[in-house]
Structure 1
Amino acid sequence: MIEIKPRKRGPKPDPKERPALVVWAMRLWMLSGALLIALGVLGIVDQSVNVGLEFGPLALGVLVVVLGVAYLLLGAKTYRGELQWRSSLSALTCVVVAMLLPLTIGFQSSGLAVVLACAVVGLAGSLLAYRPQSDKWFNCVLNGDCEPALTTNTDDAE
């Protein structure tokens, strides 16, 4: 039988030593997520009252709400210093902006332009999270003070 060992978690950065850029990245991610949720809800309400229950516009509103919730959840995990979530959120913001840009231009939609602007706010947060000072904090090399690594496997010597 194959034995699977539990994974080790690396050291986490000290939350007390957050640089200002990390705090601003978090604020921009949360602001972007909140704006996307508000725009999605506003779009759902507007489409259901004015147009009726058509699937396309309602599905777009639901997708924008889900995207905003994902920004909020991933941003909260990233703010606690978990490196893999920073990468996931940064990739998500890049993909969303890259997909919304041609859609906004192609459909010439002012609603999509506002969603794109809110997504660019999140992209700005991702850019701040990868600045050298922020990157050092996320990689635990700012002051060398990191919380100790959480080890779940006690018998490493084999």
Structure 2
Amino acid sequence: MSTTPATTPPKTARWAIGLWWTGGVLLVLFGVIVAAVNDHAGVRTIGIIYVLIGIADIVLGRRAFGRDSRARSAVSVLTLVVTMLSMIGAVILGTAVAMLLLASLFALGGSLMSYRPTSEPWFNPKS
């Protein structure tokens, strides 16, 4: 493994950002649908929270792709928490949160790809 940082992103890093963005867009879409369909204020608030989480996923993924290792850690923790919550929600609510679970699994796949040995020189250029 070379000590010089890579000048072009490896394939796994490009997959990571694509999966993070896909997960973020699906979270935003899920949040908009939840907020638009329901009349209950609490459910609308949950939809708005999912929109904000999706936007944070996209923004942090972009910062991480810009070689910020702190943003990579932040987006990885965020997607792990959202995945855990969506799995709990899928058990409790059934298929109503299938899109949420799918979105969080896409983003979790991006987090896994970002920590592959081939992606490490791109996301952590100082090592």
- Distance in 2 (alpha carbons) for counterparts of 1:30 and 1:139: 20
Aligned twin of 2:74: 88
Q: Is 1:37 aligned with 2:28?
A: yes
User: 1:98 maps to what in 2?
Assistant: 84
| Structure-2-length-normalised TM-score | 0.89
1:47-99, CA deviations, whole angstroms, 9 ceiling, x for partnerless residues? 1xxxx3x1121011111101100101100100100111101111111111112
Structure 1 gaps of 5+ residues are 1-12, 145-158
Count residues with an aligned counterpart. Answer: 123
C-alpha separation between the residues in 1 aligned to 2:73 and 2:42?
A: 31
The alpha-carbon deviation at position 111 of structure 1 amounts to 2.7
Q: Are the equivalent residues in 1 in contact too, given 2:64–2:123 (CA < 8 A)?
A: no
Unaligned runs of 5+ in 2: none
Matches of 1:69 and 1:138, distance apart in 2: 21
- The 1-side partners of 2:22 and 2:112 are apart by 15
Aligned ranges 1:3-152 → 2 under 5 Å: 13=5, 16-47=7-38, 52=39, 54-108=40-94, 110-140=95-125
Largest Rg, 1 or 2: 1
Find the aligned partners of 1:106 and 1:45 in 2 and give their Cα distance. 22
Q: Percentage identity across aligned positions? A: 31
Distance across 2 between alignment mates of 1:119 and 1:44: 18
Instruction: Measure the CA separation in 2 of the matches of 1:35 and 1:107.
Output: 19
**Alpha-carbon separation, structure 2, partners of 1:69 and 1:121:** 15
Deviates more, 1:37-46 or 1:116-125: 37-46
Q: Which runs of 4+ in 1 moved over 6 A?
A: none
Task: Using structure 1 for the length normalisation, give the TM-score.
Answer: 0.72
CA RMSD of aligned residues (A): 1.6
Distance 2:107 2:26 in 1: 10
| C-alpha separation in 2, matches of 1:28 and 1:106 | 26
